[in-house]
């Protein structure tokens, strides 16, 4: 494989009107045509499959180079048309002796930054998170539009990509004269699909030659030939339709991201995502919508990267999650650091939580090992934190946000076991004065979905549907086992949580890890609140504000609600409890409300 090393751009014969050629030498210095003098950068890495290479300043002071030279003026050389940069970032340059924190693109790096080797500090001028006290030892020099983000400039790491462009038929004259293939390339900043830097590589002409070669194949017979031709044409139509639909999805996402740009989470290229995750080396887990990987933005910043499945719908879930998360800033909701929408690659970048999800701390093993549990007072704090996050989603934003997928897997725990609600792919937004919302299909996780999400026989879908899911989560915390129907053997009935919890409160001999009287009161309070939250009729469920008040009280005055699943029978207090059939088998499908 050819190694891309020194790149020198030279103009070809003006009479042939051919594009610029690309020459290589035996070093790794790329000379960029900037004003007033060219900038020379080291090519640190090349990814030919992704058509990406990375640049850095050998003097380790890239902000100084970009401050002294202009990257946003028109390209000085011309072929057919003008080759120009299209800056999409706005950066501020400072002369600093010290900076307390680095705050770039919603990312905060703690610790004083050494400015001795390079006194120029660059920051995103549109980022409201930059605190003036951090720049107390700085003098502002200028504001510049730039092709590169402040984060990449400050860390001396510029990603560049090249992509195919249209081929000029006049350049075939060059090919005939020189007996060499003339190709075209476009070098652009990673993630910016429309900007132009240098023209090089053309795939259309090459594909055309291969297609003609296929048509010249001699078939064994007319029938076989016709059949193959129909199959080939059918495959071409299918491929064309597939990429047309994918192209429309990509366009829809790009249009959304243009409007979303002002909210300022970082947009990463797919090459960035590969670098951050070390080529997806450390997989944390996988869910219905994609896998999650551990990554590093720097030695000090760990992140979780969720790679969304390529087969997921038409991009609406990606738009939904990015659009929703960008509006949320709360202690009990996961913060979106950035995203990737590079071609058909889609990813979400979050803070990294080493404790993982709540699920692994509340699941009881078959041996009933209570050491896998958190303390009951800590579980109560977690339950209250989740309620606080849901209350913020329902009342704290300009629009009410309905999550529709509250369950232990979608609650992450930080170092202090502070709960963070995540996964907003199924969320819906509505006005606060809107009592019901429209839905075309059930959404959520089985075992946590409210009955009205399946059928309007139980009422209209509203914010009370999230409260039902939260109630099931509380019951799972108390019960210490996964909230799905399980069968122990053929002779036993399936166990359902609400019946199980009611039996617990009525004195049945059901074992859960209780150490003392105080823990028992907490468990009982969580169970009663959970049962109130899962009432069949939405109107009978409390608001999340009331739930928080119930959790903050001592619980002695709480009354056990009626069992929404009806009477239960058992031969004795230790046998399994009879449960009604699953409620999602023969229910009316919800239709759209105008």
Secondary structure element (H or E) that encloses residue 24, with its range = strand 21-24
Unique residue bearing structure tokens 């959404």:
443
Q: Is 282 labeled as catalytic in the residue annotation?
A: no
DSSP-derived 3-state class of residue 487: coil
Residue in 57, 405, 423, 499 annotated catalytic? 405
DSSP-derived 3-state class of residue 196: coil
Q: In sequence order, what are the beta bridge partners of 143?
A: 92
Neighbours of 193 (CB within 10 A): 14
d(CA 480, CA 384): 17
Cis peptide before 36 (omega within 30 of 0): yes
DSSP string, 559-593: PPPP-TT-----SSTTSPPP-PPPTTSS-PPPPPP
With both helix axes pointing from N to C terminus, report the angle between 517-533 and 464-479 in degrees, rounded to the nearest 10: 150
Question: Beta strand pairing status for 98-99 and 113-114?
Answer: antiparallel
Q: Maximum CA pair distance of the chain? A: 98
Please say whether the dihedral angle defined by the alpha carbons of residues 342, 344, 349 and 353, taken in this order, is positive or negative: negative
Query: What region, left, alpha or beta, does residue 466 occupy, with left being phi > 0 and alpha being psi -120 to 50 degrees?
Result: alpha
| Cα of 219 vs its chain's centroid, Å | 50
Neighbours of 94 (CB within 10 A): 19
292 token code pair: 């999650």
Please, is 27 exposed, middle or buried when counting C-beta atoms within 10 Å of its C-beta (0-12, 13-18, 19+)?
Answer: exposed
Nearest to 349 by CA among 391, 404, 290: 290
d(CA 558, CA 148): 59
Secondary structure element (H or E) that encloses residue 469, with its range = helix 464-479
Neighbours of 149 (CB within 10 A): 24
> What positions carry a catalytic annotation?
405
């Amino acid at each position: 494989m050819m190694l891309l090393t020194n790149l020198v751009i030279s103009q070809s014969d003006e009479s042939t009107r051919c594009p610029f050629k690309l020459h290589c030498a035996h070093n790794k210095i790329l000379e960029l045509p900037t004003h007033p003098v060219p900038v020379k950068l080291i090519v640190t890495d090349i990814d030919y499959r992704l058509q990406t290479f990375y640049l850095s300043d050998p003097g380790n002071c890239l902000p100084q180079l970009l401050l002294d030279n202009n990257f946003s003026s028109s390209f000085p050389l011309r072929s057919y048309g003008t080759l120009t940069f299209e800056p999409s970032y706005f950066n501020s340059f400072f002369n600093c002796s010290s900076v307390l924190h680095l705050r770039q693109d919603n990312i905060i790096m703690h610790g004083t930054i050494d400015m001795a080797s390079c006194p120029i500090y660059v920051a995103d001028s549109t980022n409201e998170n930059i605190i003036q006290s951090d720049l107390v030892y700085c003098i502002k020099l200028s504001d510049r539009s730039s092709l590169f983000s402040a984060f990449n400039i400050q860390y001396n790491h510029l990603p560049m990509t090249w992509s195919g462009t249209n081929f000029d038929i006049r350049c075939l004259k060059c090919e005939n004269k020189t007996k060499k293939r003339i190709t075209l390339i476009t070098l652009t900043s990673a993630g910016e699909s429309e900007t132009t830097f240098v023209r090089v590589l053309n795939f259309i002409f090459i594909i055309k030659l291969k297609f003609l070669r296929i048509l010249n194949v001699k078939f064994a017979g007319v029938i076989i030939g016709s059949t193959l031709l129909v199959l080939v044409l059918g495959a071409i139509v299918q491929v064309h339709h597939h990429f047309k639909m994918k192209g429309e999805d990509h366009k829809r996402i790009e249009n959304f991201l243009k409007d979303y740009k002002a909210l300022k989470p970082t947009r990463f290229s797919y090459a960035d995502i590969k670098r951050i995750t070390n080529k997806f080396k450390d997989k944390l887990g996988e869910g219905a919508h994609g896998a999650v990987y551990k990554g590093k933005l720097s030695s000090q910043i760990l992140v979780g990267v969720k790679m969304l499945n390529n087969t997921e719908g038409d991009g609406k879930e990606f738009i939904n999650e990015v659009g929703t998360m960008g509006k949320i800033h709360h202690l009990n909701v996961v913060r979106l650091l950035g995203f990737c929408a590079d071609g058909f690659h889609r990813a979400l970048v979050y803070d990294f939580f080493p404790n993982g999800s709540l699920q692994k701390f509340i699941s009881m093993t078959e041996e009933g090992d209570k050491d896998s549990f958190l303390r009951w007072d800590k579980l109560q704090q977690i339950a209250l934190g989740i309620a606080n996050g849901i209350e913020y989603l329902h009342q704290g934003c300009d629009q009410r946000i309905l999550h529709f997928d509250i369950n232990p897997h979608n609650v992450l725990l930080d170092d202090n076991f502070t709960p963070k609600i995540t996964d907003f792919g199924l969320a819906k937004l509505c006005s606060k004065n809107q009592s019901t919302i429209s839905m075309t299909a059930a959404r959520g996780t089985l075992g946590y979905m409210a009955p009205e999400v399946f059928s309007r026989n139980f009422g209209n879908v509203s914010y009370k549907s999230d409260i039902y899911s939260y109630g099931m989560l509380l019951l799972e915390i108390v019960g210490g086992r996964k909230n799905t129907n399980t069968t122990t053997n053929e002779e036993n009935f399936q166990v359902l949580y609400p019946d199980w919890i009611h039996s617990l409160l009525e004195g049945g001999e059901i074992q859960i890890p209780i150490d003392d009287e105080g823990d028992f009161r907490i468990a009982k309070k969580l169970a009663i609140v959970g049962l109130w939250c899962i009432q069949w009729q939405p109107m009978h469920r409390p608001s999340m504000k009331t739930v928080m008040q119930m959790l903050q009280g001592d619980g002695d005055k709480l009354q056990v609600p009626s069992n929404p699943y009806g009477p239960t029978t058992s031969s004795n207090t230790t046998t399994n409890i009879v449960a009604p059939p699953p409620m999602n088998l023969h229910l009316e499908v919800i239709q759209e409300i105008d």
